[in-house]
Chain A
Amino acid sequence: MKLMGEMLLRQEAFAEIVMGNTALVRAMVEAGTQVITAYPGSPTPEIAAAIVSIPAEQRPFYFEFSTNEKVATEVAYGASVNGHLATVFFKSVGLNVAADTFVQLSLMHLAGGLVVVLGDDPGANSSQNEQDNRHYARLAYTPVFEPADPAEVHSFYLEAARLSRRLHMPVILRLTTHVCHAKQKVSFPAWQPAAVDRAPRFDVANGPYIPLPFSVAELKRRALDRLAAVRAQAVRCGLHRLLDHGNRRRGVITWGLPFLSLMDALENVQPRPDVLKLGVVYPLDYGQIAAFLGEHQEVLVLEELDDLLEMEIKAKAYDLGLRTKIWGKQDQEDWIGEYTPDKVGGILHKVWPDLLPAPPEAVDTVQVPERPPQMCPGCGHRSAFHAIKQALSAADITVADIGCHTLGYLPPYEVGQLLMCMGASPGIGAGLSLFNRSRRVLVFMGDSTFYHAAMPGVINALHNRHNITMIVMENGTTAMTGHQDHAGSGRNVLGTTPRIPIRRILEGFGVESIFETDTYQQEQLTDLVGKAMAVEGFSVVIARHPCMLKFTREQRRKPGFEPRRVDIDQKACERMHVCVAAFGCPTFTRGPDGRIEVNPDLCIGDGSCVQTCPTRAITPPARPSGANA
């Protein structure tokens, strides 16, 4: 087997098939990056997976999962002003959490350099929106490099790190989902581990580091100076490409994954438009843009998500008096979704109908039932939702939060009627409880999310005496993003660390009504939720059960593991369908005649379903299922 950790530290040059996220880690090794921080979120978790594939004692850098994206950014900032090249990475919406610190970075002299790696998600494959983080770059005078494939992820990071270190400013490396996850063979240069200066070199003389009214104008001038320096060098850094097809009529300006889509869409097109592929998308080199505009009668700015460059290029062309026809977004749909080859083909056809034919319309009308994501077989959250639903009345309002338990909003549970972002549910619940004596408010919270962003909302509920009940869905891990440890796990990426139990935090806050049970104790959970909701003020139910996906994987690796599963006693089954349609474990299948079977591929034999059958037709597995059932 090829070992990723060994590959990432290989000293001789090599070529290997890698994901964009993996290529990034090799680039961080080669760049001499010293401190890397993160909070898990798709499409970036594989960056961390690659990092931790290197044994802790061999890592040529320090790495941590911080409590949230803002803390991660602050740790990276602190390391950078101490002279260490630092990098922080997280998903698109993570920048909203980090923003308060992030927007200040460009004002500061970052002695060691700092690269902010963003995993944006056009198409919202696994996010609550498809926000275009280039807006933040403009807000914070921060350059943006945007690679199109794994090879560019590697080379662009190296260039971003060089620039950041040389100009002592933050640089964004903006990845998108299918750049992170694309795989191809990439050639990597040799790497010689260099001696590293780890002396703490923070010096107030590099400041001011105190952004207050007296210093803000000076700091802002410095930030703008640095941005101007990048603008002047943007072309020379060698990340831009001009594909000159000898077409003086039409040109396209684009970058990132849409560039690859464009090239596919143009594969059989003649004459082909010229293409200017940008590497640095902020700030723009106006000389280069003006030259490209000047050489063509019409130029399309092919821009995924929002129209920032289209607006900027049009404004610049106006200032320069250029007569080039500049095409941008044609309609609302051009603002939405990932720029796949199909989407780009459609856009090209809208702008230049003679260039390529209209995309074919779907004619097949066969319907395949949808497959929304589900909680796994044995998931403690399923037992929790099934039990909690019994304690609710139709008028009650339930507020979801981010995590696997978000899926409770789906049928058959439909618990969780509102969702916003990490840790928002106690605050939203508090607002819903105002003037409200008739509809009880129940909010949900995952354990990793509790540490991440929930505590201010919880303290607010206590401090301002809001009448809500919070269910902590405690599974002991950051399950949704791939089982990263959190502050309650008792482990971090380096080894064991003291647990910070949520219950003790809540007790420390002064929460008086804390109920707790394992979610497989469904009747008890129903009862406790009823009791908690009867409490006047803020109450908590800790509904715990370990993540069964993680638990089952660990069990399977143990010697002597024997798969177990439940069975249906067909004589006892009266086809009431509670197991399949109310409890809703994906293990149960429904025949056309209503007969219930157990899917042997899926059942893990946890037995949490046994108690849900009104006619006791579910036969428990031969032995009790594991220590946690």
Chain B
Amino acid sequence: MSTYNVYMSGVGGQGIGLLSEALLRAADHAGLAVKSVDTHGLAQRGGIVVSQLRIGSQVHSPLISAHQADLVVALERHEALRAARKALKPGGILIYYDALWQPLPVRLGQAAEVEAAAVDEACARLGARLIRVHRPDLSDARMQNIVILAHIQRLGLIPGLDAAHYQQALEDLLTGKVLAANLAMFQAERHTAMTA
């Protein structure tokens, strides 16, 4: 299989680390050669977290070249636009959870918040498929990553990975009530996954 690059981005605290580790392990359970790397400097303090994942036997570095991501996954709108601009391949796919965590210049009144239309335009320019996900009734914001994971699976966004692989990955990483809650969310969201 040819190389498949997944570029993930969010804000520190949103759970990009778990999402990335779940995709990494799911790909491994599917028998694919895979590498990944997290870049998270000071991100735990509200900065940007990026994780990169590369599937394929011809992969050397875990780092994805500019505009070479087949799939960009983001957990926040500003970061979705930033990541798409930086990493997304023309004709690729952007899936993002439409959370809004305003960056500092917006809160200071020095810059405008990114509007959803700007993400639409960026994807249109790239000829990319856009999948926007939002669950206003979600009780725990820390589940947003699992909602996205369920959509990635349901929509078959990563070739070669099926639901059992994702489930095994979550079972590798979580236990007890947290595992049960995440698996329940994963299953429920798989049924409601839809494209924007």
Genuine A/B complex: yes
How would residues 154 to 181 of chain A score, 1 for a CB under 8 Å from any chain B CB and 0 otherwise?
0000000000000000000000011001
Known contacts being A182-B36, A599-B101, is A373 close to B46, with CB within 8 Å? yes
> How far is B125's CA from A126's CA once the two chains are assembled, in angstroms?
34
Judged by a CB distance under 8 angstroms, whether B196 is at the interface is no
Contacts A17-B24, A366-B122, A368-B114 given: A178-B41 contact, CB under 8 Å? no
A371 touches B104 (CB 8 A): yes
A412 at the interface (CB under 8 A from B): yes
Task: State the CA gap A340–B45 with chains docked (Å).
Answer: 25
| Contact assessment for B46 and A586 in the assembled complex, using a CB-CB cutoff below 8 Å | yes
Give the docked Cα–Cα distance between A342 and B172 (Å).
34
Q: Give the size of the chain B interface in residues (CB under 8 angstroms).
A: 63
Q: Are B12 and A373 touching (Cβ within 8 A)?
A: yes
Q: Contact check: which of A126, A183, A601 meets B62 at CB < 8 Å? A: A183
Complex contacts, B38 vs chain A, CB 8 Å: 181, 183
- The distance in angstroms between the C-alpha atoms of A412 and B24, with both chains bound, is 39
Alpha-carbon distance between A102 and B145 when the two chains are bound, in angstroms = 44
| Chain A stretch 39-64: residues in CB contact (< 8 A) with chain B | 42
A335-375 interface with B by 8 A CB criterion: 340-342, 345, 359-360, 364, 366-375
In the complex, the answer to whether B118 meets A407 with C-beta atoms within 8 Å is no
A183/B172 in contact, CB under 8 A? no
Would you list the 10 A-B pairs with minimal beta carbon distance, nearest first?
A374-B46, A373-B47, A601-B141, A1-B175, A260-B61, A263-B60, A369-B111, A126-B41, A371-B103, A373-B42
Counting chain A residues whose Cβ lies within 8 A of the other chain, the interface size class is 35 or more
Tell which of B78-86, B148-156, B187-195 binds the partner. B78-86
CB distance from A32 to the nearest CB of B (A): 29
Q: Would you call A364 and B125 a contact (CB within 8 A)? A: yes
Q: With A17-B24, A178-B39, A261-B63 in contact, is A374–B108 under 8 Å at CB?
A: no
Between A and B, how many residue pairs show CB distances below 8 Å?
169
Q: How far is A263 from B63 in the complex, measured between Cα atoms in Å?
A: 12
Count chain A CB atoms within 10 A of each CB in B28, B61, B121, B125 and give the residue with the most. Answer: B61
Tell whether, in the assembled complex, residue A368 and residue B101 are in contact, meaning their CB atoms are under 8 Å apart.
no
Q: Among the listed stretches A439-447, A500-508, A588-596, which one makes contact with chain B, having 4 or more residues with CB under 8 Å of it?
A: A588-596
Q: Are B103 and A369 in contact (CB under 8 A)?
A: yes
**B46 pairs with A360, CB closer than 8 A:** no
Known A1-B173, A374-B47: A589·B41 in contact at CB below 8 Å: no
Contacts of B21 in A (CB 8 A): 183
Q: Please give, as numbers and ranges, the residues of chain B lying within 8 Å of A366 by CB-CB distance.
A: 81, 85, 118, 121-122
* Interface set, chain B 125-162, CB cutoff 8 A to A: 125, 141
Which residues of B lie under 8 Å from residue A42 when comparing CB positions?
Answer: 41
CB neighbors of B among A116-150 (8 A): 125-126, 149
Contact B60 A364 (CB under 8 A): no
Per-residue 0/1 for B1-29: is the Cβ within 8 Å of any A Cβ (1 yes, 0 no)? 00000000001110000000100110010
Q: Is B100 an interface residue (CB 8 A)?
A: yes
Shortest beta-carbon distance from B166 to chain A in Å = 15
Indicate if A319 sits at the interface (CB-CB under 8 A). no
User: Would you call B62 and A368 a contact (CB within 8 A)?
Assistant: no
B24 partner residues in chain A, CB cutoff 8 A:
17, 183
The reply to whether B35 and A369 form a contact with Cβ atoms under 8 Å apart is no
- A–B complex contacts, Cβ < 8 Å, 13 sampled: A126-B42, A182-B36, A183-B24, A183-B37, A184-B36, A184-B62, A368-B82, A368-B114, A369-B113, A371-B46, A372-B104, A412-B108, A600-B141
CA distance A184 to B125 in the complex (A): 34
A contact patch SS: loop
| B25 and A17 contacting across the interface, CB-CB below 8 Å | yes
Give the shortest distance, in Å, between B23 (CB) and chain A (any CB): 11
Least Cβ–Cβ distance between B62 and chain A, in angstroms: 5
Interface residues of A in 56-105 (CB under 8 A from B): none
Q: Are A184 and B105 within 8 A (Cβ)?
A: no
Given contact pairs A260-B60, A345-B65, A373-B42, A1 touches B179 in the complex (Cβ within 8 A): yes
Question: Is residue B124 contacting chain A, with contact meaning CB distance below 8 A?
Answer: no
In the assembled complex, which residues on chain B have CB atoms less than 8 Å from the CB atom of A411? 104, 108
Residues of B within 8 Å of A369, CB to CB, are 78, 103-106, 110-114
**A300 CA / B59 CA spacing, docked (Å):** 23
State how many angstroms separate the Cβ of A578 from the closest Cβ of chain B: 12
A480 within 8 A of B: yes
Q: Complex: how many Å from CA A371 to CA B24? A: 27
CB under 8 Å from chain A, chain B span 37-53: 37-39, 41-48
How many whole Å from B170's CB to the nearest CB in chain A? 9
Evaluate whether A368 and B81 lie within 8 angstroms (CB atoms) in the complex, with A374-B45, A589-B100, A592-B113 already known. yes
On chain B, the residues within 8 Å of A341 by CB distance are 61, 63-65
Nearest CB in chain B: distance from A405 CB, A? 11
- Tell me which residues across on chain B come within 8 A of A404, comparing CB atoms: 45
Give the docked Cα–Cα distance between A185 and B175 (Å).
22
Q: How far is B13's CA from A375's CA once the two chains are assembled, in angstroms? A: 12
Is B58's CB under 8 angstroms from A267's CB?
Answer: yes
**Chain B positions within 8 Å of A511 at CB level:** none
Contact A480–B102 (Cβ < 8 Å): no
Q: CB-defined interface of B61-95 with A at 8 Å, one 1/0 digit per residue?
A: 11111110000000000110110010000000000
A364 touches B85 (CB 8 A): yes
Q: Kindly list chain B residues whose C-beta atoms are within 8 Å of the C-beta of A602.
A: 101
**A178 pairs with B37, CB closer than 8 A:** yes
Question: How near does chain B come to A269, taking the closest CB pair, in angstroms?
Answer: 13
> Cβ of A257 < 8 Å from any Cβ of B?
yes
- Bound Cα distance A42, B47 (Å): 15
Q: Give the complex CA separation of A580 and B110 in angstroms.
A: 12
Chain B residues positioned under 8 Å from A480 (CB to CB): 42, 45
**Closest CB-CB distance, A146 to chain B, in whole Å?**
15
Q: Is A2 an interface residue (CB 8 A)?
A: yes
Residues of B within 8 A of A340 (CB): 61, 63, 65
A453 within 8 A of B: no
Residues of chain B with a CB closer than 8 A to A125's CB: 39, 41
Contact A264-B109, Cβ < 8 Å, known A1-B172, A181-B38 = no
Q: Are B78 and A183 in contact (CB under 8 A)?
A: no
Cβ-neighbour of A371 out of B47, B64, B175 (below 8 A): B47
Q: Is the pair B81, A581 in contact by a Cβ cutoff of 8 Å?
A: no
Min CB distance B185 to A, Å, is 16
Least CB distance, B52 to chain A, in whole angstroms: 9
Please give, as numbers and ranges, the residues of chain A lying within 8 Å of B65 by CB-CB distance. 264, 340-342, 345
Task: Verify B102–A589 contact, CB threshold 8 A.
Answer: yes
If the complex has contacts A17-B24, A410-B104, A411-B108, are A376 and B63 also in contact, measured as CB distance less than 8 A? no
CB-based nearest B residue for A563: B140
Q: In the complex, are the beta carbons of A374 and B104 less than 8 A apart?
A: yes
Q: Report B-chain residues with C-beta under 8 Å of the C-beta of A372.
A: 47, 103-104
Contact check, B109 vs A261: say whether CB atoms are below 8 A apart.
Answer: no
